Amino acid sequence: MTTLLIEIGCEELPYKVCESVIRQLEGAPEQPGLALSLLGGERLLEEGAAARVLVSPRRIAVLVDGVPAEQLAQVQEFRGPKAEIAYAADGTLTKAGAGFARSKGAAAEDIRREVVDGTEFVFVSVEAERRAARDVVPELVARLITGLQIPRGMRWGARPAGASEYLRFSRPIRWLVAKLDGETLSGAFYGLHLGEVSQGHRVLGSPVVIATAGDYERLLEDQKVVVSQTERRRRIVDGLDAAAEELGGSWSDPGDVLAEAVYLAEWPSVARGTFDERHLRLPDEVLVTAMQSHQRYFPVRDAAGKLMPAFLYVANGDPAAAPLVTRGNERVLDGRLDDSEFAFDRDLAEGLPAMGERLGAVVFHEKLGSLADKANRLGGLVAALASGQGPGTSAAGNGSGDSMAETLRTAARLAKADLVSQVVIEFPVLQGVMGGIYAEAGGLGDAVSHAVGEHHRPLSATAPLPGTAAGALLAVADKLDNITGAWVAGEKPSGSRDPYGLRRAAMGIVRISLEFSLRFPLAGLLTAAVDQFELQGIEGLDDARRATIVAETAAFVRERLQVLLLDAGLPFPSVEAAMGAPAGDLPALAARARTFAAMAGREVFQDAVTAYNRCAALAAKDPAAGSRAVDPALFTDDAERELAAAFDAARGPLLDALANLELESAIGAAAGLRPAVDRYFDAVLVMDPDEAVRANRLAQLAAVTGLIGRIGEFGRLPLTQA
């Protein structure tokens, strides 16, 4: 099989762009990537063809095994005019028929008749032109480059004659290589000619002629370039393992620096450096951040998990020069740690409460006030949370309700204080973390320290959650304030635009609520959050706008719950049925979705669903039926009385079971209504001619629908489940 090589040579690419390009070119198992899609669309892929995407800082390359010498055969079907128009009475082609044949390059005998939807047309089968791969691929190079979605592309140089617009790419493109086995393809793109000359390592290598596509990786290796990102990663990890073992420890990478290092070096090697042991008095978080956030170093820990005065780094130069490079890295890190010590000591001397006194001078949002205003809002919101702790919140070990309330009040007042600290100004990623450290150093107690230190969690959809109930409640309050604040300020997210990370905040509320079984009514929490802005004096929050904000933000948070449940693999109908329930808290909705999925197909569940749907179908004919009381005096049939008795017997157990999230018991109580429902529909004409009787029967069905509907909106389940 013929191997195709396309290489796009660039200035150094950002690592995020490298990762994005790989995803676009490789595609997914069910969706071929851009490279194979382009080749397949031009009939240049043999069966079993495979592509390798190789991306390093200065190049994007695609190697495809299984490219034919010319386009694969393809027969195209063309429909012409109606047969009565294409043929004369004597069976010869008319001018219209002959023109159709001529336009497709076909002879008269190639034309055939076929009936389509009762009408006879003329058709012709034509084999598509088969062009040589050497002529097609150069056109695909341009489509490959322009088909890549590059965020924040740049333009450079002059626009070539004939080009309608400037080329935008992540970094300037410097050379292009296109080979079919040993054949160099000719062509040009945006002033650059396709060729066979690639570039080796910027310092250690030189230009190299790619004799054949299959030798690409070997030839670049000779010029100190490892083009495979997988191989570079393997070499880096092996080097880190070996260097850490020599130090008697193990390396760590909490900031995911490794992902970036893979795309910072084309000829990676691992070296190690040291720093003065006196810096170990700094908190681990400060040391690690100083090493990773700017310098991309890897910290090393001993067998006991303590940081060692050493670091590892990935170099992209001559390993022989490592001692000189290491000394430079050590000087840089030592200077950063000296600055960090100075900032840390100043912060400790000031103390977190004093920092909190300075929050009034820092703007949180121009429409929402200062950080001091935010701290006040958090205080009011956590008071509401503390007074209505849901089941499970005290299980995390924060004591009684009174102590929880005091912990939350103190933590809310100080949660944002570290934003004015010197260390956080230097390392913004440590906000919250440093607050917890300063709270502990100031003797504010473990509960307050943990709450302050954890209230930023989770930082992503999969990041760790708060570890304490107080931290969880403060985190929920902080995220509720951010979400409702965006609505109050008129800056709610739209489409893919979410500059304040509100979807991440909503997912954090969902995850925390489920983890800690926080069974707060969501609408009540959001109302309390909006209340804080009104108490602050923000204008324009009339009843109508408040109701709109609460409704929209509740839907916004519930949408994140739906995403989480679907990502967990729950069936869409089960999730939909759960989300339609009138349950006000997130754990109750999630429990419903999981229970519906687990019980689907079981007889008891089918009985409950059937009882609901039979009643709901008729009750829906009268929207006012649910608001009317059922009058037993209007019963005319024993089936009505039996259903009323069954309803009264099921109501208490069903509602009690729901209150305790004993969903199987609630579903069992609902299923117990089915025999009475079935007898009712067998014996009773619901749409009775007597208006009063008819209205009463519809009200009775609406009552049954409303009761079972408290479990879930079973009408959203597929018919097979009913």
The length of the chain in residues reads 722
Report how far residue 493's alpha carbon sits from residue 501's, in angstroms, rounded to the nearest whole number.
9
Q: Which residues contact 170 (CB under 8 A, 6 or more apart)?
A: 10, 13, 14, 17, 150, 152, 153, 154
- Residue numbers of the chain with a pLDDT score lower than 50: 389-399, 721-722
3-class state of residue 422 by DSSP? helix
What residues contact residue 606 under an 8 Å CB cut-off, 6+ apart?
721, 722
Between CA 692 and CA 445 the distance in angstroms is 67
Question: Please, which residues have CB within 8 angstroms of residue 290's CB and are 6 or more apart in sequence?
Answer: 333, 336, 337, 340, 427
pLDDT tens for residues 246-273?
Answer: 999 999 999 899 999 999 999 999 999 9
| Inter-residue contact 173 to 192 (CB < 8 Å) | yes
For 295, phi then psi, to 5°, come to: -95, -15
C-alpha–C-alpha distance, residues 615 and 684, integer Å: 13
Structure tokens at 338: 């000296």
| pLDDT of 391 | 36
Q: In the CATH scheme, what architecture does the domain 600-721 have?
A: Orthogonal Bundle (1.10)
pLDDT in the model for residue 400: 54
* Contact present, 315 and 268 (Cβ < 8 Å): yes
DSSP string, 290-301: HHHTTT--EEEE
Phi and psi torsions of 62, nearest 5°:
-130, 125
Whose CA is closest to 507, among 548, 580, 558?
558
Roughly what angle, to the nearest 10 degrees, separates helices 446-454 and 401-414? 50
pLDDT of residue 385: 85
pLDDT digits (tens, 9 = 90+) for 164-214: 778 889 999 999 999 999 999 999 998 899 999 999 999 999 999 999 999
What pTM was computed for the model? 0.81
Give residue 605's Cα distance to chain centre: 33
